[in-house]
Structure 1
Amino acid sequence: MRAFSLAGLACLACAGTAFAAQPATVRVDYLHSGNALSEHYALDRVVIEPLPWPGDMTRTLDDTDRGINKVEVVDAKTGKLLYSRGYSTVFGEWKTTDEASRATRAFGESVRFPKPDAPVKVRILKRDERNQFSIVWTADVDTDALDVVRKQPPAPARPIPIRVSGPSPQKVDLLILGDGYTRAELKKFEQTAKRLADYLFTVSPFKERAQDFNVWGLAVPTEEPGVSRPSTNTHHASALNTRYDIFGSERYVLTTDNRALRDIAQHAPYEFIEILVNNDTYGGGGIYGQFSTAAANNDWANYLFVHEFGHHFAGLADEYYTSPVAYQASAGRPEPWEPNVTALHDPANVKWRHFVKPGTPLPTPWPKDAYEAHSREYQKVRAQLREDNRPEAEMSKLFAEDLAWTGRLFSQAPHAKTVGAFEGANYEAKGYYRSQQQCLMFDRSEAFCAVCAEAVGQTIDLYSRPGRK
């Protein structure tokens, strides 16, 4: 990684100015194990991270009601709630796969919070069948105890200030990590991270709120370029152990090495993480409140970066439903917690009703049959291209043709710009609905629907106050 410029050092100093009065950052690492029928938690370690808490101490409680899980930190003596955040997990996604019905696995997870002055109880909550949070695990944590990790090895790489708008506690801090970049490619990583961050801030509402963000970059170099793609017998060692083929899906890219991720990320200010993998093959992933990933060298990297960040940042659900996924269909149609999809159990009180104009039919008609007929043929071609290991340019061309076809179909529909309830979302053709025909979370278009844009704005508000310098 290149040495800091004077401007870069000034940027870090700016971020560090507000840190002077900030508490330390506590990280609780724990193991989350189980299968489709049961879950278990076990404390691994408590860590004091090298950098002070990056967040706004006036916004320690989460009011967005998102995520499968929630962490609560309460004073052990008084029971006062000190900190909360909703999030989801890799385990939570794995639990919905077929493998979870026949195997038990464990995943490392972490929660971070500002260091308290006294012992606390760290509570993990999970949504129940009523979509309400209930406590599933509690750990007593004394951040001054003898077994707390306070000293760690030096940073394996130095962070780059890509965009710094002000002190970290007053801004959203996005950390872009690189995985699969050799030492000779670190300049390439820096340029790619800057390009994708710049693109993010051309998409509303990030565009209008760009001054509420800091963006940092950090990459630990590898011996060879790229990350593992086991389905093609491609295996590479990398610092974050990011790989394709997660849960058997050839395009799903995640890391399941939580400790490696957190031990590297802790050396930069962050609240959100996006991992760029140094690969050409289309792929990515996003876990709410954990991290997102994107194939940095793909022709669709701009879309991947924003779409996957939408999952991680705002808890947005996938609105598409014709692509194959690793998850098993749910037994019923419970109301999703995600803000942009609904089971529409009560059309008169659809969750985004403030966007719906009087007289809009719910469900809202759209050319669903024509779309699905086209999509079935498109998916066959897509699968064949992958099976034949065709050049990535052919896949990119197919994506462009599909998007153009969809755009033409939707432009002729009577509810092309309507906010309503369009059946087909959340990986299901029936029983789940999205708010508009087209959205960045539905296809490879370039704009969020009104509901997704609102959800993004609410998350920005949780971490940064508009106009704060």
Structure 2
Amino acid sequence: MRTFVFWIFLLVPTLLSAQNSYNTYFKNHSLRFDFLLGGNNEEVVVYPAETKEEPYWGGNKSNLVDPFNYGSYRFQVFDLKSDSLIFSKGFSTLFQEWQTTAEAKTTKKTFYQSAIFPFPKKDVKLTIEARQWDGTFKTIYTTNIDPKNYFILDEKVDKFPVRTILDNGKPEHKVDNVILAEGYTAAEMEDFYADAAKVSGYLFDTEPFKSEKSNFNVRAVFAPSEESGTDVPGEHIYKNTYFNTSYYTFDLPRYLTTSDMKKVYDAAASVPYDQIYVLVNTERYGGGGFYNFVTVCTADNELTPKIIVHEFGHGFAGLGDEYYNSSVAYEDFYNLEIEPWEPNITTLVDFDKKWKNMIDTDTPVPTPRKAKYKNTIGVYEGGGYMAEGIYSPYIDCRMNTNEAEGFCPVCQEAIRKVIRAQTK
């Protein structure tokens, strides 16, 4: 009992310090800095769009500086007077994937993004950084923000109907998922809410989300579309929907994404949120997930229970794809001379930072893809869209195939770490 009390006394100052740091620098709502990422396969440029004040901050108030170093990009917020780092967040983008396609070698494009952080009380410096081929970050944009600047938009948030699917407590102590309706007409509102509850059930039927369910809140926001469904350009099908989702991203039939992120952010601002999930009213197979950006998935495909879990693994925990024999649009996606940032794949360049401590001493490294190792944590060649040079921790996992029973132990632990960081 005395030992327990002793540790409580040690912990309380740390928690109070983190809370005081938040109260020193931030208010209890958000600042949204919208920008375009533009360029081609060799260059990236940030084009500022607009800055907005939003009514909620759904994130943790203790872990303000990102502890994971995940993502192909990150933004950092510094107190301008002291130059102290007071907030940071890693994220991934559709633009970075597009840069690795053949089209990017001959064309320039822009993609809509946003840096969202607690609304500052004092002047701050915002930096946006891109991960380089060697794994380091390079600053590609810097600006100072005066929170009293009257050009920061303070508009009323659009009023969309909201239904709570799961409520386990205050947003700052929970992972807050917002599910947005896409391709549901006004007459299909109840269908959307039923689908939102259904797909949430799929997620919480899967470990580790099942045992961590009490650490989540889920809210569904209904943004009505003029037509049901979504675009399928390869079949000349075009629907007038609220978030303009589309299959055939990068000309891949199954790749379902949205390029209208401004509308996504505006609708999500109706509630406190950490993760955005766009639920598309279609029976077709498909989806897409991007770390700390957006997850998109269909509502009614027979494989939806598998797809939502896989894509949310990308969007929430930064998990990498472990498959290595499927058709993708990417070229030279990973540098085999460095360790990838995703927690569930490795080049063995710096394996000590990955799951090395979870491997039994009698398991060979690399580990043969043989039946005797079916349920063994190891180092199996193949992953990250490449058959050679990249390794994954399990023969099969939800980040590899739809046939896998669920996440492997390494992916489960990676997910739990993110949950702990966002809820402590």
Fold similarity call, TM over 0.5: yes
For residue 66 of structure 2, what is the aligned residue in structure 1?
62
User: How far apart, in 2, do the equivalents of 1:318 and 1:461 lie?
Assistant: 23
User: How far apart, in 2, do the equivalents of 1:350 and 1:423 lie?
Assistant: 18
Question: 95, 100, 103: which one pairs with 2:99?
Answer: 95
The question of 1:165 aligning with 2:143 is answered no
User: How far apart, in 2, do the equivalents of 1:70 and 1:119 lie?
Assistant: 20
User: Structure 2 matches for 1:202-217, cutoff 5 A?
Assistant: 202-217=205-220
Give SS of 1:341's match: coil
For residue 378 of structure 2, what is the aligned residue in structure 1?
420
For residue 41 of structure 1, what is the aligned residue in structure 2?
46
Question: 430, 442, 445: which one pairs with 2:400?
Answer: 442
For residue 112 of structure 2, what is the aligned residue in structure 1?
108
For residue 452 of structure 1, what is the aligned residue in structure 2?
411
User: How far apart, in 1, do the equivalents of 2:265 and 2:333 lie?
Assistant: 32
User: How far apart, in 1, do the equivalents of 2:143 and 2:350 lie?
Assistant: 39
Give SS of 1:312's match: helix
Deviation readout 1:89-131 (Å, 9 max, x if unpaired): 1111111111101100111110100011111111112223332
- Once the two structures are TM-superposed, the CA of residue 458 in structure 1 deviates from its matched residue by 1.1
Deviation readout 1:11-58 (Å, 9 max, x if unpaired): xxxxxxxx9x95221100011110001111121111001x22112211
Give SS of 1:459's match: helix
Deviation readout 1:120-143 (Å, 9 max, x if unpaired): 111112223332223221111112
The question of 1:136 aligning with 2:140 is answered yes
For residue 296 of structure 2, what is the aligned residue in structure 1?
293
For residue 410 of structure 1, what is the aligned residue in structure 2?
none
Contact 1:311 1:317 in 2 (8 A): yes
RMSD of aligned C-alpha atoms? 1.6
User: How far apart, in 2, do the equivalents of 1:332 and 1:214 lie?
Assistant: 37
Contact 2:56 2:269 in 1 (8 A): no
Q: What stretches of structure 2 of length at least 5 have no aligned partner?
A: 1-22
Question: 308, 312, 316: which one pairs with 1:313?
Answer: 316
Give the stretch that moved more between structures: 455-464 or 146-155: 146-155
- The amino acid of 2:225's aligned partner reads T
User: How far apart, in 2, do the equivalents of 1:115 and 1:45 lie?
Assistant: 15
For residue 117 of structure 1, what is the aligned residue in structure 2?
121
Identity %: 36
Question: 82, 97, 102: which one pairs with 1:78?
Answer: 82
Q: How many residues align?
A: 398
Contact 1:43 1:139 in 2 (8 A): no
User: Structure 2 matches for 1:268-279, cutoff 5 A?
Assistant: 268-279=271-282
What's the TM-score once normalised by structure 2's chain length?
0.91
For residue 26 of structure 1, what is the aligned residue in structure 2?
31
Give SS of 1:414's match: helix
For residue 388 of structure 2, what is the aligned residue in structure 1?
430
- The amino acid of 2:49's aligned partner reads D
User: Structure 2 matches for 1:376-391, cutoff 5 A?
Assistant: none
User: How far apart, in 1, do the equivalents of 2:91 and 2:30 lie?
Assistant: 18
The question of 1:354 aligning with 2:357 is answered yes
Contact 1:24 1:114 in 2 (8 A): yes
- The amino acid of 2:84's aligned partner reads K
